[in-house]
């Protein structure tokens, strides 16, 4: 790699990292605000105007708290757990196309850091590694509640990964490529995949809720049964890492959903805009802004559902996963295959 390319990649990785962290930080704030608003309250409003500095205060608190490592725990794995959790959730962002081409001082810069031809598989691989953070942390705590949380997390994520995989395979039949960049390019304008894959999207959405351990599938950390679930024994910034990784996962899975089904940075009338202004940069920037708007809507949707629907019971979760979603996604896969065969020949 030449030096210039290296510098551009480094800058974009650092930018992406800071944006991800910033959004995760403010997602915690948004979550509290949304929860409050849906319960006719005001939410945190003391730190700064409208409580805008509340996440900074929360982060500071996490750093200042005493760090407790249980005596009977496995020290190395206890520290490793949250590290894996946050690392795996931060890794997915690099292959998401955050925008089109940007021309800066004559250089063409792509707003996607890495374009793999197997982009979706990379997302899946990182996702499947992420569960180790929860499992290792829960086991290393040497606490029965943590272990229960870890076991629940692993079986839940394994179960829902299957139907998520099937729904993505159905999508791949339509797009014909695994590269996220090409998938987005195919949805140019208003030609979004959601119109071809409505049921596939629904299955993917439900599985995304299960994979990110969000309500109504937050059994690994449900307070009423397991104290804190897999992070019962964690304190200080290690707990912060677990909570943060959940919010980053939420952000990334929203971004993946938008990329796969809602056209990514595409928006209607983008050709007309390019034609009218003649500026590729403007179209790219508008696209990126709209991409983030869509992502924020999905983050809001995650929160909206959390404060609406109660938690599933464990057998209900497994029933829904194995008896509901997997057969449904297989049927949908068959239908899609038949449709592709019928329309393309």
Partner 1 sequence: MLTSAFYLIAFITIFFAIMVVASRNPIHSVLYLVLTFFSISAMYIFMLDATFVGMVNVIVYAGAIMVLFLYVLMMMNLNTDAEPKKSNLFKITAVISGGMLLLLIVAALHDNNLVNANKSTLANEKIGSIKVLGNVLYTQYQLPFEIASVLFLIAMIGSVVLGKKNTASQTIGNEVLK
Partner 2 sequence: MQSFSSKKKVIEQKKMTLLERLYLPAIFQGLGITLKHFFKKKTTINYPEQKRSVAAAFRGLHVLKRDEKGAERCTACGLCAVACPAEAITMEAGERRAGEEHLYREEKYAIKYEINMLRCIFCGFCEDACPKDAIYLETTFAPANYDRNDFIYGKDRLVEGFKRDEIVPPVVRTLEEANL
- Site string (60-79) toward partner 1, x via CB under 8 A: -----------------x--
Tokens of 218: 């937050």
Least distance from C-beta 43 to partner 2, angstroms? 9
Residues paired with residue 109 on neighbouring β-strands, in sequence order: 102
Binding residues for partner 1, total number by CB under 8 A: 25
Residue 134's binding partner, choosing from partner 1, partner 2, none, with beta-carbon cut-off 5 to 8 A by kind? none
Residue 40's binding partner, choosing from partner 1, partner 2, none, with beta-carbon cut-off 5 to 8 A by kind? partner 2
Least distance from C-beta 125 to partner 1, angstroms? 4
- Site string (141-180) toward partner 1, x via CB under 8 A: ------x--xx--xx-xx--x----------------x--
User: Of these, 135, 184, 255, 320, which contacts partner 1 (CB under 8 A)?
Assistant: 135
Residue 116's binding partner, choosing from partner 2, partner 1, none, with beta-carbon cut-off 5 to 8 A by kind? partner 1
Helix (H, G, I), strand (E, B) or coil at 38: helix
Beta strands 101-104 and 107-110, pairing class: antiparallel
C-alpha torsion sign, points 150, 152, 155, 161: negative
Least distance from C-beta 118 to partner 1, angstroms? 5
Least distance from C-beta 132 to partner 1, angstroms? 7
By the rule CB under 8 A, 117 interacts with partner 1: yes
Sites of contact with partner 2 (CB under 8 A)? 34, 37-42, 45, 304-305, 307-309
User: Of these, 13, 79, 102, 118, which contacts partner 1 (CB under 8 A)?
Assistant: 118
**Closer Cβ to partner 2, 2 or 315, answer by number:** 315
In this structure, what are the phi and psi dihedrals at residue 232, rounded to the nearest 5 degrees?
-55, -45
Residue 158's binding partner, choosing from partner 1, partner 2, none, with beta-carbon cut-off 5 to 8 A by kind? partner 1
Least distance from C-beta 47 to partner 2, angstroms? 14
Query: Minimal CA–CA distance to 208: which of 169, 165, 177?
Result: 165
Torsion of CA 268, 109, 103, 190, to 10 degrees: -10
Candidates 131-139, 196-204, 221-229, 337-345: pick the segment binding partner 1 (CB under 8 A). Answer: 131-139
Neighbours of 322 (CB within 10 A): 14
Least distance from C-beta 317 to partner 2, angstroms? 13
In this structure, what are the phi and psi dihedrals at residue 102, rounded to the nearest 5 degrees?
-120, 135
How does DSSP assign 237-256, residue by residue? HHHHHHHHHHHHHHHHHHHH
Residue 79's binding partner, choosing from partner 1, partner 2, none, with beta-carbon cut-off 5 to 8 A by kind? none
Q: How far apart are CA 20 and CA 337, in angstroms?
A: 36
Tokens of 293: 């708007």
Residue 173's binding partner, choosing from partner 1, partner 2, none, with beta-carbon cut-off 5 to 8 A by kind? none
**Closer Cβ to partner 2, 41 or 75, answer by number:** 41
The kind and range of the H/E element at 108 are: strand 107-110
> Checking phi first, is residue 46 left (phi over 0); if not, alpha (psi -120 to 50) or beta?
alpha
**Closer Cβ to partner 2, 42 or 144, answer by number:** 42
In terms of DSSP H, where are the helices of the chain?
Answer: 3-38, 54-64, 75-91, 119-140, 144-175, 180-186, 198-211, 223-226, 236-261, 270-277, 280-306, 314-318, 326-344
Helix (H, G, I), strand (E, B) or coil at 63: helix
Footprint of partner 1 on this chain (CB under 8 A)?
A: 77, 116-118, 121-122, 124-125, 127-129, 131-132, 135-136, 139, 147, 150-151, 154-155, 157-158, 161, 178
């Amino acid at each position: 790699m030449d030096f210039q390319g290296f510098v551009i990649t480094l800058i974009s990785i650092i930018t992406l990292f800071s944006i991800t962290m910033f959004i995760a930080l403010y997602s915690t704030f948004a979550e509290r605000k949304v929860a409050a608003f849906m319960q006719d309250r005001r939410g945190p409003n003391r730190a700064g105007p409208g409580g805008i500095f509340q996440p900074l205060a929360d982060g500071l608190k996490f750093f200042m708290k005493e760090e407790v490592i249980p005596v009977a725990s496995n020290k190395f794995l206890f520290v490793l757990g949250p590290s894996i959790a946050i690392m795996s959730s931060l890794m997915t962002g690099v292959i998401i196309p955050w925008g089109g081409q940007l021309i800066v001082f004559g250089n063409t810069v792509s707003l996607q850091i890495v374009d793999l031809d197997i982009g979706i598989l990379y997302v899946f691989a990182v996702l499947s590694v992420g569960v180790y953070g929860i499992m290792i942390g829960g086991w290393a705590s040497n606490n029965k509640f943590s272990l229960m949380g870890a076991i629940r997390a692993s079986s839940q994520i394994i179960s829902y990964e299957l139907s998520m995989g099937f729904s993505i395979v159905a999508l791949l039949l339509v797009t014909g490529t695994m590269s996220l960049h090409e998938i987005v390019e195919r949805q140019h304008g208003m030609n979004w995949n959601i119109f071809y894959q409505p049921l596939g999207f629904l299955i993917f959405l439900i599985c995304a809720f299960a994979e990110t351990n969000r309500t109504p599938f937050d059994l690994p950390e449900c307070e009423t049964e397991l104290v804190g679930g897999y992070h019962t024994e964690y304190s200080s910034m290690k707990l912060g890492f677990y909570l943060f990784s959940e919010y980053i996962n939420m952000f990334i899975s929203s971004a993946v959903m938008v990329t796969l089904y809602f056209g990514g940075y595409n928006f209607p009338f983008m050709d007309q805009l390019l034609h009218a202004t003649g500026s590729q940069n403007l179209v790219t920037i508008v696209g990126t802004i709209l991409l983030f708007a869509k992502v924020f809507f999905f983050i809001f949707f995650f929160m909206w559902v959390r404060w609406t629907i109660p938690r599933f019971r464990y057998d209900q979760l497994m029933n829904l996963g194995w008896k509901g979603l997997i057969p449904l996604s297989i049927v949908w896969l068959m239908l899609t295959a038949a449709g592709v065969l019928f329309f393309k020949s």
